[in-house]
Structure 1
Amino acid sequence: MASFIEAYHYYGAEFVSWLQTVLPFRGGFFMSVSDIGDPSLAFTLYFPLVLALHAGIGVKLMWTIIFCEWSNMILKWLLAGDRPYWWVHETPLYAHSVPPPLHQYPRTCETGPGMPSGHSKLNAAMFFVLVSAFIDMVVMKSKRLSARQRVWAVRGLWAGYVVWMVLVVLSRVYIAAHFPHQCVAGVAIGVIVAIMVSRLPELHVLSRAQYLSLSAAIIVSVFGTYYGFKAMGGNVLWSLEKAVKWCIRRDYIHIDTTPFYSFARYAGVSLGLGLGLSSPWYRRTNRGRFNTKMTVSLVILSLFVSQAGVFVHRSLSPNMPGWYLAEFTLHATATYLLVAALPNFVRWASRVPAAEKGKRM
């Protein structure tokens, strides 16, 4: 099995080197692709924007993102995949030859294990949800399109999805952050997660106790995996040590790529999302009565609060005591505001009657 994986890594590293050779000086372009699809934007841009435009799709999108990030963390620990930028320096396959010169970029030195690719997985899941929703709610309901035009519109949207995913995969491979097979695996798992979440509509209507139990289960599963590995003598943070050792520049190593920062983020969001969905404010929002002016106002307020959260995040020092707890609290609070407080405030400010008691949005 080890030799089989090493063969995948060998041909993957050769492909990375070939890609960097045939597409010279394209690092800036591929880093831009990675930046657009960065997991942090899923929390700070895509989710707030979609939630403000359509609560149901926004909630589905965020549960998809949460389960993607959670499963990604667990799978990375279980599968323990190398990354190209450190593997070429440590594999015995190049003991008697020169390893391919893999160029590193400011987005190369991710600190978690490489299998599967979190970028590919999250983008596959996130845009699967968005494309599916756009087709169902816009294309298929459009009275201006004929049946034939709807078919071509659907094909065009899915073709655009495929093109974007190819660019994301190539971007992760080009900057030597992942091997090709890790990205393909990420795409496949991401689509599976998106489909599974779409078949769980009850995630929108759980009780507060059930949401708290779900958040607790996510947290316990992560700590259980972590301490389970430690009890067996494993080093869960081995990839961080390799990143520090083989990254050519220390400023290429970013704290928000570490496993436990990701955990603090999605665990906090899951708690804030559950508390928001089960709150009286969310039930009173009456989103069906929102007009264009109210929706635009909510979009502006949501993006403002989200970017305020980004500002607070950047103001917090990773060296401060309780940094992970502070990040957890920040993301839980911001998500609660986005889901429940802000929509209800816009409804109240616009003098729209509250929804009937007990009615879910």
Structure 2
Amino acid sequence: METVYTQGIWMAERLQQRTMSQENMWQLVTHIGDPKAAFLLVFPFTYFISKRAGVAVLWVAAISEWLNLVFKWMLFGERPYWWIAESRLFINNQPNIHQFSSTCETGPGSPSGHAMVTAAVWWVVVSSLGSYLHSRTHSVMLSAAPYLLYVVMLVAVGISRIFILAHFPHQVIAGSITGFILGIFLSRRVPEGRPLLFFFSLSVGLLLGTVMLHAGLRQLGIDLSWSIALAKKWCSRAEWVRLDSAPFSSLTRDCGALLGLGLAQYWKPGGWPLRLAPRALSLAISSMGLYHVNRLPLPVRPPGLFYGLFFVKFVMVPQVVMVLVPGLVHLVTHRRRND
């Protein structure tokens, strides 16, 4: 693997040297590819166009990110920004590379979560859009356009992850392929209309099962916090190492979103009947609401409190998008029509 890692470092150096003037663009692309964006941006946007597609996006995002966490714990992938120093292969020939504010993620590196979740979630979006265009226009060119954009997006997200030294190229490729397969598989098994007990059991089962896996591996002498220690040791700035990028943050986000999805479908199984204009208004209000929910400061000490509040935060995401905001908009617009 040393050869693969070394070639990845030199590729990152060339990429930074040739495209450093596009730093802001790569930073934006990596934020768009952040798994968190699937919950806070892609989900509400998709839901107010197609309720089933929106539910599918949330479902696929949660399961694919959870699987990515498990894969990372099993594969122990390095990250470029710490491997450069830890490998001691570059003492006499230091690469000219830079870290950025989004570089210092704390989980293992393989496979790339950004690439994997992006590939899975956006497959739901583009396949739905492609099917819609084909049924409306019967044009092969138009129906193929979303899939072309899908490939362009995956390539852009992958390059952005290499550029900021968060991943090696092979980790991005592995994440993209795995996410693509998961997107196809999970989008055909969307739990729309399932009882609340299903989502409660799934959320608790994934949470407890993952915690037990973590404890079991520790009993075997496998330290799963090794990557966090390396992140803190080799990140250029201490403030770039954030608790919300830790593996357990991903876990609580996924389990919270799944429980929230079940609660939302329990409160309002069929959703609120909204026309085009109220849907657009609901999307705007939901986006603003989720923006402020995401910006709520959480105490980082003790970590258990942080993870508990992080879980609650993402339980609220489906409530805001599927129940609270559409219900409020429906109430206001319905009253106006009656007046």
TM-score between both structures, scaled by the size of structure 2: 0.92
Letter in 1 for 2:101: P
Q: Is 1:301–2:301 an aligned residue pair? A: no
Deviation at 1:345, TM superposition (A): 3.8
Match of 1:135 among 130, 133, 136: 130
1:8 corresponds to: 4
Match of 1:47 among 37, 43, 50: 43
2:174 corresponds to: 185
Q: More deviation in 224-233 or 318-327?
A: 318-327
SS of aligned partner of 1:211: helix
Task: Report 1:22-61 matches (<5 A).
Answer: 22-61=18-57
Letter in 2 for 1:330: K
1:82 corresponds to: 78
Deviation at 1:93, TM superposition (A): 4.0
Unaligned runs of at least 5 residues, structure 1: 353-361
Q: Deviations over 1:255-292 (max 9, x none)?
A: 2211112222221111111121233x233x353xx212
2:252 corresponds to: 264
Q: Is 1:322–2:293 an aligned residue pair? A: no
Q: Deviations over 1:92-133 (max 9, x none)?
A: 5446x4242332111111111100111111111122111111
SS of aligned partner of 2:269: helix
Letter in 2 for 1:88: I
SS of aligned partner of 1:140: helix
1:112 corresponds to: 107
CA distance in 2 between partners of 1:159 and 1:151 (Å):
12
Deviation at 1:39, TM superposition (A): 2.1
1:211 corresponds to: 199
CA distance in 1 between partners of 2:88 and 2:311 (Å):
41
Going from structure 1 to structure 2, the CA distance change for 1:18 and 1:156 (only over 3 Å counts) comes to: same
Deviation at 1:63, TM superposition (A): 0.5
Please, what is the CA RMSD of the aligned residues?
2.0
2:315 corresponds to: 332
CA distance in 2 between partners of 1:302 and 1:219 (Å):
27
Contact 2:256 2:312 in 1 (8 A): yes
1:72 corresponds to: 68
Letter in 2 for 1:252: W
Deviation at 1:59, TM superposition (A): 0.2
Going from structure 1 to structure 2, the CA distance change for 1:25 and 1:348 (only over 3 Å counts) comes to: closer
CA distance in 1 between partners of 2:223 and 2:253 (Å):
22
CA distance in 2 between partners of 1:24 and 1:291 (Å):
45
Q: Is 1:155–2:155 an aligned residue pair? A: no
Match of 1:282 among 266, 269, 274: 269
Letter in 2 for 1:316: L
Deviation at 1:190, TM superposition (A): 0.8
1:358 corresponds to: none
Deviation at 1:67, TM superposition (A): 0.9
Q: Is 1:221–2:209 an aligned residue pair? A: yes
Going from structure 1 to structure 2, the CA distance change for 1:25 and 1:286 (only over 3 Å counts) comes to: closer
TM-score between both structures, scaled by the size of structure 1: 0.86
SS of aligned partner of 2:96: coil
Q: Deviations over 1:231-252 (max 9, x none)?
A: 1111111111101111111122
Unaligned runs of at least 5 residues, structure 2: none
